[in-house]
Amino acid sequence: MKLSRSRGASLAALLSCAALALSACGSGSIAEQTKENEKKAADSGNCGDLNIAVNPWVGYEASAYVVGYVAQSELGCKVDYKELKEDVSWQGFGTGAVDVVIEDWGHPDLEKKFVKDKGGDGSATDFGPNGNVGIIHWYVPPWLAKAHPDILDYKNLNKYAKQFATSESGGKGQFLGADPSYVQFDEAIVNNLKLDFKVVFSGSEAASIQAFQKAEADKKFLIGYFYEPQWLFAEVPLEAVKLPPYTEGCQDVPAKVACDYPETELKKVVSTSWAESGSGAVDLVKNFTWTNEDQNLVAKYIAEDQMDPADAAKKWVEANPDKVDAWLKN
């Protein structure tokens, strides 16, 4: 990994330079640095532009900016981060607007449209796991699980429905959905399990986080869709509600879903034309993999510590040179 020189290294170079004739040292250093930069560019290939989709949750943002920071600082890429919903991101593969989706939670419908061996047009290519495991469940705040342990079984939800009711739920219990563009079957699950609840979408990850934080602080009834990896669990350890277990095929027909969500090996999906372009970033994205804990840390920097995403990425990259080196190997 070729990181920029430290202050100490720069001082050593300056002292070395002082021992030689000033003019000779100065010209020699510039020439050597120019040659090194040219070699670095040749070794990394012509990276060019790198268009990374940024889907609307902070964990994804963390992954995107870490990959983008490495691509820019190590390979010389010009990185463009594009804030897009999941389905719109995939549409960009064929137009050249999107090169990389760094965290896909599983979209069989989109694969059938865009991945060749799934019957699609071939504009998208599966680039393998990114190391994260996606876990979606229905959750309640920890105070509620402790006060009413039986609430962790969906069969007991209806007896508490009135206590979950809000002004938006029409007399039924409120189930807090997230962003409706996420992978979710909550309305079908509510209907098919005959639960006296109405799904009310928060509209965003940030709104869902705030709702769970407030419900825990104020000891309010709340049940909703949430997921890991997510930094919030370190602050508010949400408790999952047991639904009928996921089995193969139980989510094939969206309107008939009556089961829990599966654990999902999250993966990278890229533009086929970009994958074949010879860009120096292709191997970086192909090799990129990290853990839920890695992602949660960078997501915390962004969401809780209010760091700029690029600064959060830089902080993590500089603290994890061995992992980044592995991504950069051809």
118: left (phi over 0), alpha (psi -120 to 50) or beta: alpha
- pLDDT for residue 30: 54
Residue 292 has pLDDT above 90, yes or no: yes
- pLDDT for residue 319: 98
101, HSE (Cβ side, Cα atoms, 13 Å)? 31
Residue 6 has pLDDT above 60, yes or no: no
Q: CA–CA distance from 54 to each of 79, 89, 124 (Å)?
A: 12, 8, 17
Residue 175 has pLDDT above 90, yes or no: yes
Numbered ranges of CATH 3.40.190.100 in the chain: 135-256
| Cα–Cα dist 177/184, whole Å | 8
Numbered ranges of CATH 3.40.190.10 in the chain: 47-133+264-328
Residue bearing the bigger pLDDT, 104 or 24? 104
- pLDDT confidence bin for 46, thresholds 50/70/90: confident
Q: Does domain 135-256 have CATH number 3.40.190.100?
A: yes
Strands 239-241 and 100-104: unpaired
pLDDT tens figures, 301-330: 999 999 999 999 999 999 999 999 999 987
Residue bearing the bigger pLDDT, 40 or 162? 162
Superfamily of domain 47-133+264-328: Periplasmic binding protein-like II (3.40.190.10)
Q: Among all chains, which residue has been given the structure tokens 């962004």? A: 302
Residue 4 has pLDDT above 80, yes or no: no
